[in-house]
Amino acid sequence: MNVSDSERAATVLGDSGFEITSDEDTADIVLINTCSVREKAEHKLYTRVGRIRHSDRAMPTIGVMGCVAQLEGETLLRKIEGVDFVLGTRAVGRVADVIGRVLNGEEGIVDLGEREENYDWTVADTHRHSPYVAFVPIIEGCNKFCTYCIVPFSRGRERSLPAPEIVRQVEQLKASGVKEVHLIGQNVNSYRPDRQDDLQDFAGKSAFSKLLRAVAATGIERIKFTTSFPRDFHDDIVEAIETHENLCNWVHLPVQSGSNRTLAAMKRGHTIERYYKQIDRIRNASRDIAITTDIIVGFPGESEADFRDSVKMVEYCGFDMAYIFKYSPRPGTPAFALPDDVSLADKTIRFLELERAQKASQNERLRRYLNKTVQVLAENASTRSKGLTGHSTCHKVVNFSGSTGLLGSLVDVKITEIKSNSLFGELV
Ligand code: SAH
Ligand code: SF4
C-alpha cells in the first residue's frame, strides 16, 4: 500500500509539472512516506530529517506522508524541526496543492482530511515501480481492529472502489503493456462495493470472488491479490483460481498464531481448526497453489504452550514462505494496554525457533518445484548472475539465464536449483 501511495504522489506531482528525482541531496522538496505497522517509524523519521538538516546542502522543503503523518499530525511540526508540512494517508491527491501553498509561503499545513470524492487512483506509467507489474488498490482502510494493529487507526475505515473502475484500470494497464496486476488492500476478501449489481454477471458467493472473475475476464496475463484474511476467506476464491488460469496460484493468508487462546486475544475472528480447513482446501485444489503467511511471536500472554502451537501450525501448513515478526506494542492499539510480558530475549528465541521450523518445512515444500517448469515474468536483469530475474505465477523469485530482449515477456523456466528465498532455472 505504501509503495502504491508513493507512486500516486509521484503521479500527482508529475502531472502538476514537478520533476521527480530519487536523489535526496539535490531535491528541492523531500517527501518522506512512513509506515508504522511494525517499526518505530517515528524515530526513523526523526533521524532521517536530522540527517538532511545537518548535511551541508541548502535546506529543502520537507513533507511527511503515510501512517506516521496521519497518526501524529500537527505534533510532527512541533516535534521534528525541519518538517514543513504533513499529509495524511488519504490526502495524497492534494499533495501538489499543498506543496504549492508551502512554496507560496504558507506555514504549518497539516492535511489529515478524507479523499476527494472523485479521487483518481491511477498511476502514470513512468512512476510505476515496474513497467510490467502494477498495483491496483481495490479496498482501502480496515475495520477489523486486530488488537495489535495500528492500520485501522492510520488508514481509517474500509472503502471499496467501484468494480467498473477497477476493471477499467486493469484494461488500461493491459493496453499499456503491463503483464501482471496485484489487487491490493489490507483485507481484499472484505471487498464490498456500494453497487453490488455491477458484478451480477460474474459467478461467486462473495463480491471479491466475483471481482476476481471480472478482472480475469479482461484477459490480462496475470492477476495476484494481497492480503487475504482468514475470517473472510471463502472457498469460492479457490474455485475462481481453479477456473481462471490468469488468476495466479498464490495466496497470502496471514495466520498470526497457532494458538486459539492467542488468536482470540488478537481478535482475529478465526480459530486454528478453521484455518487448517482452509489450508486443506487450498492444498486439495486442482492447481498447485503456493501459500504464504505472517506470524507474530511474543504477543502479550503468549505462553510456551501457545508458542508450541505456532510451531505445530507451521509444521502442519508447510508454507512456501512466512514473514515472522516479534510483537511490538503500538501506542493507541487495544493490545498496548496489555503487559508486554514476553521478554525481548524470549521473543528472539521464539522467533529463531519458529524461523528454523519454517525453513525446514519450506525447504521440503520447495523441492516440489525441482525439475518442474514454471512460467516466469522476466522483470529485471539480475545484478549478481548475468541472467534475468522475475516472479513465477506462484510468486517465487526465479533467476534464470536469458538476454535482456526477453524483459517484459512471460517465459517458461525449468527449475534446476532451490535456494531458501529463490529458485534458479533454465529457459525451456
Ligand atoms: N492486513 C494484513 C496485514 C497487516 S500488517 C492482515 O490482516 O494480515 C502486516 C503484518 O504485520 C501483519 O500480518 C502482522 O503479522 C504484522 N504486524 C502488525 N502489527 C504488528 C505488531 N504490532 N507487532 C508485530 N507485528 C505486527
Ligand atoms: Fe491490521 Fe487486522 Fe486489519 Fe490486517 S485485518 S490490517 S492485521 S487490523
- Convert the pLDDT of each residue in 87-123 to its tens digit: 999 999 999 999 999 999 999 999 999 988 888 888 8
Q: How far apart are CA 387 and CA 381, in angstroms?
A: 6
Q: Would residue 120 count as lying in a domain?
A: no
Contact (CB, 8 A) for 128 and 7: yes
Residue 325 Cβ inside 6 Å of ligand 1? The answer reads yes
Q: Which domain holds residue 180?
A: 125-368
214 plus 78 within the same structural domain: no
Rg (CA), the chain: 22
Residues 32 and 66 in one domain: yes
Name the domain boundary from 78, 111, 144.
Answer: 111
> 274 and 383 in one domain?
no
Confirm or reject: Cβ of 342 under 6 Å from ligand 1. Answer: no
Say whether both 197 and 334 belong to one domain. yes
Task: Name the residue at shortest CA distance from atom 2 of ligand 2.
Answer: 146
The secondary structure of 65-119 as a DSSP string is EEHHHHHHTTHHHHHSTTEEEEE-TT-GGGHHHHHHHHHTT---EEE--PPPTT-
Q: What confidence category does residue 158 fall into, taking pLDDT thresholds of 50, 70 and 90?
A: very high
Same domain, 328 and 422: no
Residue with cell 532521517: 48
* Judgement on whether residues 375 and 343 belong to the same structural domain of the protein: no
pLDDT band at 138 (very low <50, low <70, confident <90, very high): very high
Asked whether residue 117 is assigned to any structural domain, the reply reads no
Please give the number of the atom of ligand 1 that sits closest to the Cα of 333.
22
The three grid cell numbers given for residue 214, joined into one nine-digit string = 471480472
317 and 183 within one domain? yes
The verdict on residue 292 lying in a domain is: yes
Identify whether residues 173 and 293 lie together within a single domain: yes
Weakest-pLDDT range from 4-13, 116-125, 155-164:
116-125
pLDDT value at position 127? 84
Q: How many domains does the chain have?
A: 3
Counting other chains too, the contacts that 279-282 makes at CB distance below 8 Å and 24 or more residues apart are 279/316, 279/317, 281/235, 281/238, 282/238, 282/251, 282/253
Residue 85 and residue 158 in one domain: no
Q: Are residues 395 and 346 in the same domain?
A: no
pLDDT above 90 (res 312): yes
Q: What confidence category does residue 394 fall into, taking pLDDT thresholds of 50, 70 and 90?
A: very high
Ligand in closest contact with the CA of 143 = 2
- One-letter amino acid identity for 272? I
Cell digits of residue 362: 519450506
pLDDT average, residue stretch 306-315: 98
Say what the pTM is. Answer: 0.93
**What's the pLDDT score for residue 40?**
75
We report the CATH number of the domain holding residue 167 as: 3.80.30.20
SS3 (DSSP) at 255: coil
Which of 266-270, 300-304, 329-333, 349-353 is predicted with the least confidence, judged by mean pLDDT?
329-333
CATH number at residue 16: 3.40.50.12160
Q: Indicate the residue among 368, 386, 413 that finishes a domain.
A: 368
Q: What is the pLDDT of residues 23-50, one digit of tens each?
A: 888 899 999 999 888 777 788 898 999 9
Provide the pairing of β-strand 373-381 with 388-392. Answer: antiparallel
Tell me the pLDDT band of 124, cut-offs 50, 70 and 90.
Answer: confident
Q: Is 304 helix (H, G, I), strand (E, B) or coil?
A: helix
